[in-house]
């Protein structure tokens, strides 16, 4: 079990717009929250940020696999921590572990996500750009790094 700090985390207050009529997070909203977290993370890794990768470079970061466990509810107005860890860095993909944890330490939901880097012109997989790979490896030195295919 991992005991070190996550690769990246942010505190978040659960908003009304993220909840269903019962006042708890409507589960698809977690996917929006974690996509925003990935965007914020890449913004800290590269000078041009997420927008530069997607917009200027035309490198896509689609999800190709997702496993999710919902463990407890998150209610409107609560403060939670959204965190991600890099588990694996491959040639053209990476696997992230997410968690939404209440300030009480209770994990609300967790997930594993595999992202593939693609060309937004051809929609085919491409190698992770070198500067992004280096930044991710520096941010997550404990991640499993798979040998690059040539």
d(CA 139, CA 7): 6
Rg of the chain over Cα atoms, rounded to whole angstroms, equals 16
Contact 50, 99 (CB under 8 A): no
The length of the chain is 150
**121-136 residue pLDDT tens:** 999 999 999 999 999 9
Query: Rounded CA gap, 22 and 38, in Å?
Result: 28
Which position has the higher pLDDT, 148 or 104?
A: 104
pTM score, two decimals? 0.90
All domains of the chain in start order, with CATH: 8-141 (3.10.129.10)
Q: How confident is the model at residue 6, as a pLDDT?
A: 84
Instruction: Give 34-83 pLDDT, tens digit per residue.
Output: 999 999 999 999 999 999 999 999 999 999 999 999 999 999 999 999 99
């Amino acid at each position: 079990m991992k005991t070190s700090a996550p690769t990246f985390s942010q505190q978040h207050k659960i908003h009304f717009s993220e909840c269903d009529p019962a006042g708890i997070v409507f589960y698809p909203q977690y996917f929006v929250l974690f996509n925003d977290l990935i965007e914020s993370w890449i913004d800290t890794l590269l000078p041009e940020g997420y927008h530069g990768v997607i917009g200027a470079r035309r490198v896509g970061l689609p999800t190709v696999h997702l496993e999710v466990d919902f463990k407890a509810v998150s209610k409107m107005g609560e403060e939670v921590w959204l965190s991600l860890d890099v588990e694996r860095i491959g040639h053209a993909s990476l696997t992230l572990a997410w968690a939404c944890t209440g300030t009480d330490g209770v994990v609300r939901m967790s997930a594993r996500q595999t992202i593939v880097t693609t060309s937004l012109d051809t929609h085919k997989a491409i190698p992770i750009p070198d500067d992004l790979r280096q930044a991710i490896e520096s941010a997550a030195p404990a991640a499993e790094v798979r040998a690059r295919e040539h």
